[in-house]
Amino acid sequence: MSNTKTRFSVGVMTRIAILTAIASILFLIEIPVVAFYKLDLSNIPVLLGTFSMGAVPGLIILFLKSAIGLLHSSSAGVGELADFIMGAALILPAALIYHRNKTRKSAIIGMLIGTLCTAIAGVLVNKFIMLPFYMGAFHMDMQGILDFARVTGVDTEWKLLLLITGPFNLLKGTVLCIVTGLIYKPLSPILHEKIR
């Protein structure tokens, strides 16, 4: 009995390490989308780990990825904190819904709800963490941030949050969930394989 538990623990830790390494590499690759927002695919391995092993391993992968991101942070760790909060908002609903009923339908519903949660979290995190940090770090007022964003018609903080930040995070969550949905089943044998 103890041998089985040990093997399972080693297997889970090995998968966490591999998925964390992949997520950390993907975290370095950013695709500019709109204003100063960039799309990265680093939460795909986090979602894969969450669906295959559960919410706690998923959160561990997310935390380790964000912690490793501190090594190349350009925001004194504030961006990595924001990434962790928004990532948790995505994976926790997905995990809770999927692990109650492990079907494709519940995975899709979980990811949809997680995407909505991450969009809401993105607005709140930007309002209370990211924008105040950048205004302080670069000695800008809100007008300076808006000028830097260079988006036509966005002339107030709430317009930036509701017309750019929210939709961007909806797009990001949707892309992450579509890719995860497409690759999870083909990778499922590897993700669930017991490592001896």
pLDDT, tens only, 69-115: 999 888 888 999 999 999 999 999 999 999 999 999 999 999 999 99
Rounded CA-CA distance 72/74 in Å is 7
pLDDT at 133: 92
Residue 125 token pair: 């995190």
Cβ atoms of 19 and 48 within 8 Å: the answer is yes
- Indicate the length of the chain as a whole number: 196
Q: Provide the whole-model pTM.
A: 0.90
Fold adopted by 2-192: Arp2/3 complex 21 kDa subunit ARPC3 (1.10.1760)
Q: Decide if pLDDT at 191 tops 90.
A: no
Three-state DSSP at 150 gives coil
Degrees to nearest 5, angle at CA 27 with 21 and 33: 155
pLDDT at 10: 86
Three-state DSSP at 32 gives strand
